[in-house]
Structure 1
């Protein structure tokens, strides 16, 4: 009888210990300070504050976020680095996967060849939403080849192969909704609390997001090449505010997850599980403005926003921002546009790969009062360029395609040849 009772008590204690340990499991967050060691990341020199490097700013922000999280008993914090060293990209993701982290947050600083570019943006895993701007993916993935381990592992990876895209779509669907949730919270705090300018939440094919088996975000905290924003990033005030906003977003994210799953942080019954976000049938772009005037990419009228697609129809230029087939990202893009000053912006749906039955798309490669010289770069580079003169303005156009997607590809091809600031023009027969 004693032995039997002892076994019952032991079984109860083991069960209670297991349940208690499960209930007490901490929410594990991996904080990744981008770059480090020999990889300085983006950097600039200024006469008043000297040289600033992305690797130093990201480490300062991550250590601040981690310090705040470590004061909360519900969190376990793991750092990919706490000093000026360079962990390989595979080391960073392997660390997160090995510890079965609940969340991966990578902190970076942005840079651009455009001196007017500024603002924050957050990336989640997925195929690039806009092929015309791959600078972020190129910059963050290029450091794969700094490390022999990464080179051996990822040297043969082809981000554009059909097999890779299928794998991306399968993986992103598993963690996309949660990653978008955190990304939206981060950008929301940047805008509403810190009064920053947000460029939105985007999908990008980045290694530190692609190889993680958990919700993951990569936060671009601002542009180092922008004179004002760089000083903010390098200042104690800026780093404190950015850190506090990321911390707040992580706290709100955990609360939302706890409400959904009935976790420890929930004081009420879990809400019904929301269905995974389903892609919309249409692609959505945000119409910023219409004008009879043509603006180039760096024009102040575009308020420093990136991912701009100009479309011309019936002599009117329309400027669209971003593209997505996810309702949540569409709404974030719309908010970003309005925060940038385009108060009358609205979302416009485009049917993917829709062929024009009457008409075609062409590229306006030049518009001006002066006729192009026969030895001009455009006419020397392109053959079969059409020219017409309307109201004293010479218009040069090139190519004829039947879908907007084909026009964007043609535009990319011309950009690779050095012909920039072209406009896609819809011609109705």
Structure 2
């Protein structure tokens, strides 16, 4: 019988443990220092601190955080930027998605809408439906950078964060990451609070940079630039180091939690290739439910319980469209919803975003009836330059003149905000 000697056993063990080490999948963290280059982000000039700029604070924190992680052999760190430059939001999220990262962290500095210094503290955002008007201000501020880059304009500009279709897409894309995003976010805010910072908590909001990241993702607002104490803290080496340490500890705790839940991440076989992320379509798609000579208002039984209906009047006929999206998967969901509701002959119609009519214009039909509106009616008292026409014994009142469907929808919303409801967008070919 063969008896292996000590050297043979040692060699075998060395090969085994070396293979085990290489089989370990490193935990990949993408660190995103918000803004940069021509995009200064939030900033405030103080007599003693000088100009405090978000782009410099975020880079300082991220570089310190990255250095801590790089000392730990269990982590692989990828930066969206390491210098004062501006990568587009598309570039940032593509970097994270292509690296198949385990965690995406975007670091920012907050600013309250007014120049008041009363707002203070940290808050961490995860992707999700808006929670309140205050969060909306953060979303507007962070999402506004799409207008700085042509690639971002094309990728993000047609996305309406408040539309139900976008929330469906959001649910499909982000639900499996939301729980873990909330966990790491709570660790971050918990550490800030323990170190003496005022924590505003973990919140959900529709943020483009999180929406496009196919992994657990958080956006950390490390303080308010227009609060002197926050600004002084974040502008200092000590403050940036303490902030980085708190985030680092949160990442460590999060990885431990993931490892406990999923077990050791050992690669035993070649992973199956991931399906590519869904790419937005060039056109927006609406589902045409029916074309009728009759006008139906919201809640009418003929609409079979569907909401978010957009009637568009063309050549005296009302076309009823359901939903709008530029994602193929959501388009299919909307079409199935329409057919399940009873609109068996419904189909998807493509609309080129922001396309101007070559002939004609859009206006808003604000009233149709057998009786003429009195001079003291709410519509005529509220709006100026309302046009009136009479046809086949019916009075038609219309308002405005715009040349894209998006502008018509916006104008209709403005009228609704003024209390003028059940209006219809009308397409005029003259």
Instruction: Give the TM-score band, short-chain normalised.
Output: 0.5 to 0.7
Cα deviation digits, residues 193-228 of structure 1 (max 9, x gap): x21100010011001110011000000000000011
Q: Does 1:77 align with 2:73?
A: no
Q: In the TM superposition, what are the counterparts of 1:1-400 in structure 2 within 5 Å?
A: 20=20, 23-114=23-114, 115-131=117-133, 133-192=135-194, 194-263=195-264
Deviation at 1:158, TM superposition (A): 1.4
Q: Which SS does the other structure have where 1:134 is aligned? A: helix
Single out whichever of 169-178 and 194-203 deviates more from structure 2. Answer: 169-178
Cα deviation digits, residues 376-409 of structure 1 (max 9, x gap): xxxxx9xxxxxxxxxxxxxxxxxxxxxxxxxxxx
Deviation at 1:143, TM superposition (A): 0.3
- Looking at structure 1, the residues matched to 145 and 37 of structure 2 have their Cα atoms a distance apart, in angstroms, of 12
For these two proteins, the number of residue pairs brought into alignment is 259
Deviation at 1:67, TM superposition (A): 0.2
Q: Tell me which residue corresponds to 2:301.
A: none
Q: CA 1:33 to 1:17, structure 2 compared with 1: closer, same or farther past 3 Å?
A: same
- Looking at structure 2, the residues matched to 98 and 109 of structure 1 have their Cα atoms a distance apart, in angstroms, of 27
Deviation at 1:159, TM superposition (A): 1.4
Deviation at 1:172, TM superposition (A): 2.6
Ranges in structure 1 where 5+ consecutive residues have no aligned partner: 1-11, 266-380, 382-412, 418-429
Q: CA 1:218 to 1:25, structure 2 compared with 1: closer, same or farther past 3 Å?
A: same
Cα deviation digits, residues 272-303 of structure 1 (max 9, x gap): xxxxxxxxxxxxxxxxxxxxxxxxxxxxxxxx
* Native 8 Å contact 2:174 2:214 kept in 1: no
- Looking at structure 2, the residues matched to 102 and 153 of structure 1 have their Cα atoms a distance apart, in angstroms, of 23
Deviation at 1:169, TM superposition (A): 1.8
TM-score scaled to structure 2, two decimals? 0.57
* Native 8 Å contact 2:104 2:217 kept in 1: yes
- Looking at structure 2, the residues matched to 132 and 112 of structure 1 have their Cα atoms a distance apart, in angstroms, of 9
- Looking at structure 1, the residues matched to 161 and 246 of structure 2 have their Cα atoms a distance apart, in angstroms, of 32
Q: Which SS does the other structure have where 1:86 is aligned? A: coil
Q: Which SS does the other structure have where 2:25 is aligned? A: coil
Deviation at 1:161, TM superposition (A): 2.0
Deviation at 1:133, TM superposition (A): 4.1
- Looking at structure 2, the residues matched to 55 and 17 of structure 1 have their Cα atoms a distance apart, in angstroms, of 44
* Native 8 Å contact 1:104 1:216 kept in 2: yes
- Looking at structure 2, the residues matched to 257 and 185 of structure 1 have their Cα atoms a distance apart, in angstroms, of 13
TM-score scaled to structure 1, two decimals? 0.57
Deviation at 1:264, TM superposition (A): 5.8
Q: Which SS does the other structure have where 1:48 is aligned? A: coil
* Native 8 Å contact 1:257 1:263 kept in 2: no
- Looking at structure 1, the residues matched to 223 and 111 of structure 2 have their Cα atoms a distance apart, in angstroms, of 8
